[in-house]
Chains A and B, each alone.
Chain A
Amino acid sequence: RKEVEQDPGPFNVPEGATVAFNCTYSNSASQSFFWYRQDCRKEPKLLMSVYSSGNEDGRFTAQLNRASQYISLLIRDSKLSDSATYLCVVNRVTGGGNKLTFGTGTQLKVEL
């Protein structure tokens, strides 16, 4: 089983739609969580950290359920510019420092 699992998509949605991505992780020692966005042939960019209480940044809301080892990202009022691949990222601290594990990403295509 992969350490971080995501539905690869693609999710094709109309502009203005609300879309939700899910992610599960297998290592209960994981301590911090992030969503990154990656455009085609570009580097990943941090979208938001994910906190236990849930957090919101504009149209984006992230939730964490530690008991179920589940992370979600909700995008409201989606824009054409939201089209990208969204990477779920899980961090745990090892003897050598922080170790990030990346999911393979969920592709979003927002259409007119």
Chain B
Amino acid sequence: DGGITQSPKYLFRKEGQNVTLSCEQNLNHDAMYWYRQDPGQGLRLIYYSQIVNDFQKGDIAEGYSVSREKKESFPLTVTSAQKNPTAFYLCASSRLGQGQPQHFGDGTRLSIL
């Protein structure tokens, strides 16, 4: 089945640690995205990528980093510089072009120990 796989489902981080969230898709989509969702707030864009080896900052990129070495994969690293990392992280992908909807993985919940 085609889809987007995020792992792990739940992740706990100690203060000062970097953690990496995995996102893999087999939909052959060119574009991939990372969002975070906090209670009572809409999804906010962290980073996005339209092509391998290229990515752009979204609205809240500070404290995060990404890479896009393969079309299928877009891992997100939450660094120790992100002061409030507890959130629900969602990865999405889409075809390029106007009007293309995004399809989401089932998310990773990150909490601070």
Contacts and interface: CB of A to CB of B under 8 A. Distances in A.
B106 A42 contact: yes
A98 B31 contact: yes
Bin chain B's interface residue count. 20 to 34
Contacts of B103: 46
Contacts of B45: 99-100
Interface in A76-102: 87, 91, 93, 96-102
B107 A42 contact: yes
Contacts of B41: 104
Interface residues of A, number: 25
B74 interface: no
Interface of A: 4, 8, 31-32, 34, 41-46, 49, 87, 91, 93, 96-105
Given A45-B104, A87-B42, 8 more contacts: A34-B101, A41-B88, A43-B106, A43-B107, A91-B98, A98-B96, A100-B102, A105-B42
